[in-house]
Amino acid sequence: MDREEYYMRQALALAEEAAAAGEVPVGCVIVLRGKIIGRGRNRREEKQSTAAHAEMEAIAEANAAVGSWRLSEAELYVTLEPCPMCAGAILNARIGRVYYGARDAAMGAVGGVLNLFVEPFPNRPAVVGGVLAEECAAVLRRFFEGLRAYTSEEADGVRKQEAARPAEDRQPPGEC
């Protein structure tokens, strides 16, 4: 197994942790001189925070590990193409190289929708996309298929419960 695959598998393990916790399965590791100095996974539901993305968590941990906001010699491995917020954090942290797995056609800011890393910012990272892309995409696909199945079953259960209630106890449509 090559170095890129090894570190992406570490990120995939974090993505699986996120999925097990009911979070969108994205994982991230930051590597400096062959050592993982930052790990993160999505925790938006857990923390009820828009900013609780895997990359943000890993960057914060890496900053603490090196005692600096500058991560210019570091490499970031993430299972899903970074969104605009995370791409901005990567630019601001001056991370030298970014490896991502699956492309994000909905929110990707490294080519999926737009590419912030080709804009004339100072300290733009080198980018390698598609590392274990199929495995990274499969984790996301399984999560969303399970979520859709659960949501559908849950909706059916609520409809059945509502239909079984006496008419006078039923909630009028559109009211809380």
Out of 5, 16, 23, 55, the active site residue is 55
Distance of CA 137 to the CA centre of its chain: 11
For 53, the enclosing helix (H) or strand (E) is none
Q: Give the E-state strand segments of the chain in sequence order.
A: 27-32, 35-41, 75-80, 97-102, 126-129
**Rounded to 5°, angle at Cα 40 from 149 and 81:** 65
Based on the residue annotation, tell me whether 154 is a catalytic residue of this protein. Answer: no
Please report which helix (H) or strand (E) contains residue 81, including its range.
Answer: none
Looking at the annotation, which residues are catalytic? 55
